[in-house]
Amino acid sequence: MQEIHCQQLPNGLTLLAEPMPGVRSLAMSLLTPAGVSRQPGEQQGVAPLLAELVGRGAGGRSSRQFSEALDTLGVHRSTSTGNRHLRFGATLIGDNLDAALPLLLDQALSPNLDADELEPARDLCLQEIMALDDDPQRRAMIRLRQQHFPEPFGRPNDGVAKHLQALTLDDARAFWQAGVVPGGSILAFAGQVDWPKLVDRVSALTADWQGAVDEIEPTADPPRGYTHLEADTEQVHIGIGYDAPADPDAQSMLQRAAVSVLSGGMSSRLFTEVREKRGLCYSVYASYAGMRDRGAVLGYAGTTVPRAQETLVVFIAELRRLSQGVEADELQRALVGIKARLVMQGESSGARAGAIAADQYVHGRPRTLDEMAGRVDAVTLDDVNRFVADRAVKDLTIVTIGPKALQPV
């Protein structure tokens, strides 16, 4: 891979680009600080509402005119809401960037935020929340994050229904003005890109964009502990979380390797011990959630009512057994899986644009695939076993959904 270019513009916007030789596509990822953690306390839902509104006309073009202009250029676009950022994404043929870039940036810099679009946008956001009734697995994991992370870092990305119902267009405009600002924003490109030309073009288009934000600090300790949500169902959904190193921590790769031993495929411990040997559940996994200032391992199991208590017991036992160490063949399979995911990421301009933007926020700089592969190659069995021995799994946060509460162990 070639060098990843990085430059901070005078207004505070960080611009990144990773040229990918032989690739004709180009992907863009714009992270702005308007994530759900920045929502006012009684407006949980204004971030996803804004994400719906910004694509419904921008730069003076109506919603239909705006969509037709991008469709004519073959641009696939998306907006999504996360805890720290409102993300604008796009993929296109690199040759069309000159024509498409003003349109794409208009979503952030000059969305119409038309009154006629408010109710359709609100309805879509409310439908996302209502859909949780049919997706208890997702509901369990949302609640797990709320229980495990401090306010406002555990907030649901979809918002709160009663807050959404009360939001006005002025609320959305105020949130846009406060959060969609260049200071703290990251604009990343990957694929067919000319760096000097890109710097000039972006600088010209964003010269009048101004503003910055302060860092967000935790406002309340997380509840943690055990929480049961009663539901008259034949299934039980179990979410488990515990603390892990933050992503910039030197030990985060050891944590990734250890979690991949737990849940890195059909030969992993959770799949083998909980699902295959005992037939306790139809789904089980664990994943590492590494962030800039904190980290966690989050796990899930879906099972039936008669098997729920045993599933919880065996699930926790496997998490704790990790501190006894891993075998060489387990670690080798885990590391091969991590490397395979890196290789696949390197073949996608969209994945790379998103990855270098996230790296800039989390690590303060973008990382090349070669650098990340080198970190994987540097992992040794002794390092992993020392790490898991020093970090015994304890202080679990547990969420269950089902007809009756379980007994944590």
Q: How far apart are CA 247 and CA 84, in angstroms?
A: 15
Same-domain status, 298 and 164: no
Q: Residues 124, 195: one domain?
A: yes
Cis peptide, bond prior to residue 408, ω within 30 of zero: no
12, 58: one domain: yes
Q: What is the dihedral of CA 123, 169, 70, 99, to 10 degrees?
A: -160
CATH value at residue 351: 3.30.830.10
**Are residues 192 and 265 both part of a single domain?**
no
Q: Residue 65: give the domain boundaries.
A: 5-205
- For residue 397, give every residue at least 6 positions away whose Cβ sits within 8 Å of its Cβ, in sequence order, or none: 144, 147, 148, 222, 224, 225, 226, 240, 241, 242
Residue of 8, 3, 17 whose CA lies nearest to 355: 17
Where does a domain end: 205, 240, 266?
205
Length of the chain: 409
Residues 187, 250 within the same domain: no
Of the candidates 205, 235, 262, which is a domain's last residue? 205
Instruction: Look at the chain and report how many structural domains it folds into.
Output: 2
Beta strands in 182-318 (DSSP E): 186-191, 226-230, 235-244, 281-290, 295-304
Within a domain: 219: no
Q: Let me know if 279 is exposed, middle or buried by CB neighbors in 10 A (0-12, 13-18, 19+).
A: exposed
At residue 265, the pLDDT reads: 83
Check whether residue 181 and residue 327 sit in a common domain: no
Angle at 301 between CA 252 and CA 247, to 5 degrees: 15
Q: Is residue 407 part of a domain?
A: no
Statement to judge: residues 265 and 307 lie in one domain: yes
Same domain, yes or no: 235 and 174: no
- Quick one: pLDDT at residue 121? 98
Do residues 45 and 190 share a domain? yes
**Ordered mean pLDDT values, 10 residues apiece, the chain (409 residues):** 89 97 95 98 97 96 96 97 98 97 98 97 97 94 98 97 98 98 98 97 98 95 96 95 97 97 90 89 94 97 96 96 96 94 90 97 96 96 97 94 94
Domain annotation covers residue 301: yes
Task: Give pLDDT, residue 409.
Answer: 83
Going 157 to 33 to 86 to 342, the CA torsion angle's sign is: negative
Same domain, 158 and 296: no
pTM: 0.95
Residues 86 and 185 in one domain: yes
Domain-embedded: residue 16: yes
pLDDT of residue 364: 97
Do 131 and 180 reside in the same domain of the chain? yes
Q: Is residue 217 part of a domain?
A: no
Of 175, 205, 235, which closes a domain? 205
Q: Which of 15, 14, 23, 19 is nearest to 4 (CA)?
A: 19
**Structure-block tokens of residue 185:** 């924003």
